Amino acid sequence: MQLTKTEEQLMQFLWKQEKAFMKDLLEMFDNPKPAPSTVATLLKRMADKGFVSYTEYGNSREYYPLVKKSDYFSKQVNGIIKSFFNNSAAQFASFFTQETNLSEKELEELKKVIETEIKKKQQ
């Protein structure tokens, strides 16, 4: 299941805060801030999708994420690789390194990350 752009933005706030009441989440939006009813609707949809849950305190709800940011991001990247790069990580890496204008230093850092992962797989 996937989040809309606005749901993703709200999820980013929750990942950052770990737990938050709706008023806290509203404060995190830039001006003009969305209406409280809009944020309430988004939170309900996200709960229905299984991304967030909440603890009730009287009339207030404290929301928290059910999905880790790294898990969500990994699933999104894997979906992009599958959809746009014929499920080929090599094609994705080729596109990424050529189209993002990485510096030599950044490419060297990527090379180190890849070499470290190769060593882990060999053990």
Q: What is the CATH number of the domain that holds 18?
A: 1.10.10.10
Q: Are 6 and 40 in contact (CB under 8 A)?
A: no
Whether 10 and 50 share a structural domain: yes
How does the average pLDDT of the chain come out, rounded? Answer: 93
Structural domain including 60 reads 5-65
Tokens of 1: 């299941």
Whether 84 and 110 share a structural domain: yes
Whether 22 and 38 share a structural domain: yes
Interval 34-44: pLDDT, tens: 999 999 999 99
The DSSP call for residue 115 is H
Per-residue pLDDT at 123: 86
The partner residues of 60 in beta bridges, in order of sequence, read 57
Query: Span 24-36, mean pLDDT?
Result: 94
Count of domains observed in the chain: 2
pLDDT at 1 over 80: no
* Domain termination site, one of 65, 86, 101: 65
Q: Say what the alpha-carbon torsion angle 106, 112, 117, 120 is, to the nearest 10 degrees.
A: -160
Interval 38-92: pLDDT, tens: 999 999 999 999 999 999 999 999 999 999 999 999 998 998 999 999 999 889 9
